[in-house]
Structure 1
Amino acid sequence: MITIYHNPRCSKSRQGLGILEESGKDFEIIKYLDDPLSEKDLAILIKKLEIAPIDLVRTNEAIWKEKYKGKQLTDDEIIKAMMNYPKLIERPIIVSEKGAVIGRPPENIQSIL
């Protein structure tokens, strides 16, 4: 099963959803702003993406700039920041049996379909 972690207000996330719809494959949508991810869920996603936690953060978001910019944070602190402020999570994230990718650019999604 394919899963997309989706923010309907984000144009790239909507493009990613469109790619999944066009693929004809079954998928599940998780609107992570409505149903925030746990610390464990975020850690699992980061491991599947094979990235550092900071690479999943939208560092241009106002919340990041106001609360975290310039601070030396541990990976756990970065994960907690994303858990407390889900808007900080880069999107969309697509997970399939073939792996996981951040759909920026949306063409990245093709690699795991």
Structure 2
Amino acid sequence: MITIYHNPRCSKSRAAVDLITNSLNVASEPVEIVEYLKHPLSSAQLKTLNAMLGCPVREMLRNTESVYEELDLDRTDLSDDQLYEAIEKHPILMQRPVVVRNGRAIIGRPPENVESLFV
């Protein structure tokens, strides 16, 4: 199963979906596309996703969104749990797309990053 956390309004996210469905998924694995703005992830789901990404939670954040500044999320005293909670409450903060396959995940910015899940 391939899961793509997708924002259809994002060109990078659309490009990653196209790359997977039209080129990389040669084995025709099932693909689940989750529009995470309509179906936000819980803090627990975000923690699991972050563990698969293997990166600091801050790398999951889009620091270019206005809500990032409004919530003062660049403060270094914020805990990971506080950052997960911010993403849960404001899913626009999550990097996109995020692709999960075989227990591993990658942020598809640029879209070609997802190729590493298929080698």
Question: Aligned residue for 1:30?
Answer: 34
- Superposition RMSD in Å: 1.2
SS in 2 for 1:79: helix
Offset, 1:70: 4.0
Q: Name segments (4+ residues, structure 1) moved above 4 Å.
A: none
* Alpha-carbon spacing, 1:33–1:69, altered in 2? closer, same or farther (3 Å): same
1:89 pairs, out of 90, 94, 104, with: 94
Do the aligned residues in 2 keep the contact of 1:6 with 1:93 (CA within 8 Å)? yes
Identity %: 40
How many aligned positions are there? 113
* TM-score, structure 2 normalization: 0.90
Within the alignment, does 1:65 sit opposite 2:69 as a pair?
yes
Do the aligned residues in 1 keep the contact of 2:73 with 2:83 (CA within 8 Å)? no
Question: Aligned residue for 1:21?
Answer: 21
Structure 1: give runs of 5+ residues left out of the alignment: none
Do the aligned residues in 2 keep the contact of 1:102 with 1:109 (CA within 8 Å)? yes
CA distance in 1: counterparts of 2:7 and 2:18, whole angstroms: 13
